[in-house]
Amino acid sequence: MTPHDASCGCAGTPARPTVAFASDHGAVELRQVLIDHLQGQGYPVIDLGTEPGQSVDYPDVAEQLVKTLRKGTATIGVLLCGTGIGISIALNRHADMRGALVHDAYGARMARAHNNANVLVLGGRTTGPEVAKECLDIFLATPFEGGRHARRVEKLGAPSGTP
C-alpha cells in the first residue's frame, strides 16, 4: 500500500498537517533527525533553521515559529532548544500558542488529548532521538478529546486574572 499525503489528491484520504520546525543551536541535530523522520512518512515540513554553528537567541526562534503558525503556513509546530525550557517559556507568552515541553510518550499524548497543544517542545540535550521520534509520532496521531478539556483550554487563552 502506498502512503498518501496532501499532494496525492486521493479522495477520502486525510491530508497530513504541515509541520514547522525551529531550533536554536542547542538542538540542530535533533531537529534534523525529526525532519527526516517526518519526511520519510510523507509529511510536508517547513524548516525554519537554525544552521549548524549559528548561535541564536531562543526567544527569536520561538517568535519565528509563532509567525509561521499564525500565517497558516503550518498547523503544528516543533520547537527545540538545549533543554526545551527557555524556548517553551518564550512560546507560551503568546495566548494563541500552546506549547508542551515533553519528555516521554505519555506527555506527548496528554499534551494533545487534554491540552490541545499546537507546538511540541523538546530538549536537544535532554531527549534522545528515538524517544523524540516516538513523542512526535504520538503528538501528531493524538486528537484533542474536547469535552471537559475544551473548557479548560479556552481559559488558557483568556486574559490573565479572569476565571
Q: pTM for the complete prediction?
A: 0.88
Residue 61 lies in a domain: yes
CA atoms within 13 A on the CB side of 49: 13
Residue 114 lies in a domain: yes
Q: List the binding residues for D-ribulose 5-phosphate.
A: 24-25, 82-86, 115, 125, 148, 152
Residue 69 lies in a domain: yes
Residue 9 confidence (pLDDT): 46
Q: List the binding residues.
A: 24-25, 82-86, 115, 125, 148, 152
- List, for residues 73-91, the tens digit of each pLDDT value: 999 999 999 999 999 999 9
pLDDT above 70: percentage of residues in the chain = 88
Residue 6 lies in a domain: no
Q: At 106, give phi and psi (nearest 5°).
A: -60, -45
Residue 106 lies in a domain: yes
- List, for residues 30-80, the tens digit of each pLDDT value: 999 999 999 999 999 999 999 999 999 999 999 999 999 999 999 999 999
Q: Report the CATH number at residue 41.
A: 3.40.1400.10
Structurally, how many domains does the chain consist of?
Answer: 1
Map grid coordinates 488529548 to a residue. 113
Residue 14 lies in a domain: no
Just list the catalytic residues. 81, 114
- List, for residues 101-149, the tens digit of each pLDDT value: 999 999 999 999 999 999 999 999 999 999 999 999 999 999 987 778 8
Collapsing DSSP to helix, strand or coil, 69 comes out as helix
Q: Which domain holds residue 90?
A: 19-156
